[in-house]
Amino acid sequence: MIYTRRTLVTLGVAMPLALVLSALLGWPTLADSPSAATEIVLTLEEHENSEGEEIVLASARLTDTAGQPLADRPLDFFLTVDFFGQLPVSLGTAVTNAIGEAALEYQPHQAGAHDFTVQFHGDEHYLASEAARTIDISEAGSAYHPEHIGLQAIGGWTLRGIGLAVLGLWMLMGLVVIRILWGIPNASSSGPR
Amino acid sequence: MDKEHALLTEEIRKASIRPILGAGRGFYILATILGLIVVAGGVAYVYQLMNGLTVTGLNDDVLWGFYLVDLVAIIGVGYGGAVVSAILRLTNSSWRAPITRLAEAMALVTLVIGAMFAIIHVGSPDRLFWLLISTNPNSPVLWDVLAISTYLMATVIFFYLPLIPDLAILGDRFGAEIGPWRRKLYSWLSLGWQGLPKQQQLLNWASNTMAILIIPVAVAVHSVLSFAFALTSREGWHSTIYAPYFVVAALFSGVALVILVVVAFRKVYHLEKQIGEKQIRYLSYLMIVLGAMYLYFTFSEFLTEGYVGTHGAVLTLETLLLGSDYSPLFWFFAIAGLVVPILIVAFPKTRTVRWITLAAALVVGAMWLKRFIIVVPPLRQGLFGAETLPYNASLVEAAITLAALAAIPLLLMLLSRIFPVLSVYEMEEVLEEESEHKPRLQMKEEDGQ
């Protein structure tokens, strides 16, 4: 390609002008494009919360390649579920603290292996990164949380009461059948004609 | 006993065994057609057993479809037969006598067929076995099975008790004509009935006990069926009105089917003299009272759900009322299944057997549709806010449903070839009461003159 003097002058003026304007207006420039790689270390721990329920504490530490923590960066946490195929379901977003850590709690409702993923989407300085880990949940809490207001005792007695009523019905039907099967033939052989 | 009374008694006895003795070509043709439909349904069920529920239109979203609709609707119509018979017995309504046998037979047949859908619906039948082995008393499904089996037992006993004197009377009177196997069966089942006071006393006690017992059992069955919906946290289902709503729906459709069965047997076996227009008219009154109750319940449910206006409830109402795939079904149910039958019976001009039959047929069909729009549209509401899969019933489901619908008249026809279609003993009792009252009335009239 042959550059004319006019082209070179135009470029020589336009480029510094563009750099000044981009610095003032916040336009992305080549100098701003992310170049530094990041790393995430995801840790999963099974805990029992104050109500005695099993929870998973998912904590992630975001650093640059030199191991320096990256603060105030949002990390997205996902759980892979099997629902019409394997899908990542968002559990939420947490922002890293001064030592680059972000964490959230998740209460599993099923026992078995749980696949967690944490993602940093990158920003103007750092590239995106992600990490994944699996934890095996031995015991899971129920997805249904009725309020404990003392109705359990009534519920238990109600079930027993209904059970007894059903038993009573069957006994009464049995009595009807026995009395008929025994009574009618007996009455015909002993009663007045 | 005067001559007229003896003649009437003889007429009743002859009419009651007319289907046993007089099955013509029409019977066999109809039975063959219905039998073929049932066999086709049986083949479809075997195909489903071999391939699983994937051959149905059910999917991960709409996991209840035709089979559950059939279960609720067919057990529901059975309720009408048993409870109508029980209530009329307890209130000593003499007009009931000619229709109780048909009503009770219908209850028995529909209950047996309806209960089969509990097995068909779960796909592999061994799941029902595991339900019984690994019982969960907190599950409405366990109580469903228990309630239906209790109700089935009660219905069998309730059907059998009034047969005892009838079989003895007819066995004695028509022993030679009914053939040896029926004679043996009648003699065995009638338990040596001779109409002795002690036997009558015992039978009355047993019949009344069962009549009292069958009403709460039937209420329980339909309440528990409704709990399978109402106890789930799903919009359109978890409603406090559901238990009585299901009970009234069952009675409403049940009385309608009793009318259809009574009209069909009356017409085919020329029972017009024994089953008068009065019986059909009275049944139609019962039907529209229940229809009005159902209309009121529907209005009450929709008003409260719509007025409070939670997101899911409004979505369900919109689905049913305004322009969705399901709204034509809802409006057909509301107009053809509720308003038109009520109007037909309300006007004296249309209060004839023919029009009442049309009204009853509309009710039976519309109430099946109502069960469909109770079951399916709420399942189309995605719990995770996503689009759900549509439900299109497959040919297998349609074939099994049609087979069940064909099996009801077929089994009734077969039962009528074994047992008398009229409750002879009860009708003779009514006849005796009437003949006792007649001279007294005549004497009063003479005194007045």
Tokens of B208: 């009344």
Distance CA B120, CA B142 (A): 16
Provide the residue type at B35 as one letter: G
Cβ <8 Å between B138 and A179: no
Cβ <8 Å between B209 and A176: yes
**DSSP letter (8 states) at residue B386:** S
Q: Is a pLDDT exceeding 80 seen at residue B68?
A: yes
**What percentage of chain B reaches a pLDDT higher than 70?**
96
DSSP string, B118-143: HHHHTSSTHHHHHHHHS--TT-HHHH
Helix or strand holding residue A88 (H, E): strand A86-95
pTM comes to 0.75
Contacts of A85 in chain B (CB under 8 A): none
> Mean pLDDT, to the nearest integer, of A154-178?
88
Q: Is a pLDDT exceeding 80 seen at residue B335?
A: yes
What is the number of other CB atoms lying within 10 angstroms of the CB of residue B404?
A: 24
By the 8 A CB rule, do B63 and B122 touch?
no
By the 8 A CB rule, do B393 and B57 touch?
yes
Q: Nearest-CA neighbor of A77 among A63, A65, A59?
A: A59
Spans of all domains in chain A: 32-137, 154-186
pLDDT of residue A190: 61
User: pLDDT averaged over chain B?
Assistant: 87
Reported confidence tier of residue A193, pLDDT bands at 50, 70, 90: very low
Which residue matches tokens 């003889």? B10
pLDDT of residue B291: 95
> Which tens digits make up the pLDDT trace of B69-102?
999 999 989 887 888 888 888 888 888 888 999 9
Report the gap between the CA of A87 and the closest CA in chain B (Å).
13
- Higher-pLDDT residue of A173 and A7 is A173
**What percentage of chain A reaches a pLDDT higher than 90?**
39
Length of chain B: 449
User: pLDDT averaged over chain A?
Assistant: 80
pLDDT of residue B93: 82
> Mean pLDDT, to the nearest integer, of B193-197?
90
Tokens of B42: 């049986």
Tokens of A120: 């940093």
pLDDT of residue A22: 56
Distance CA B117, CA B228 (A): 15
pLDDT of residue B315: 80
> Mean pLDDT, to the nearest integer, of B102-127?
90
Nearest chain A residue (CA) to B213: A169
Pairing of strands A74-82, A86-95: antiparallel
By the 8 A CB rule, do B100 and B108 touch?
no
> Mean pLDDT, to the nearest integer, of B135-148?
81
**DSSP letter (8 states) at residue A53:** -
Sign of CA dihedral B290, B291, B296, B302: positive
Nearest to A184 among B137, B143, B164 (CB): B164
Distance CA A58, CA A45 (A): 7
Nearest to A169 among B143, B164, B217 (CB): B217
Reported confidence tier of residue A31, pLDDT bands at 50, 70, 90: very low
pLDDT of residue A143: 65
pLDDT of residue B322: 85
By the 8 A CB rule, do B216 and B167 touch?
no
pLDDT of residue A116: 94
pLDDT of residue A1: 47
Please tell me the number of Cα atoms within 13 Å of B244 on its side-chain side.
11
Reported confidence tier of residue A98, pLDDT bands at 50, 70, 90: very high
> Mean pLDDT, to the nearest integer, of A1-22?
61
By the 8 A CB rule, do A129 and A120 touch?
yes
Domain A32-137, classified CATH 2.60.40.10, yes or no: yes
Tokens of B53: 């529920």
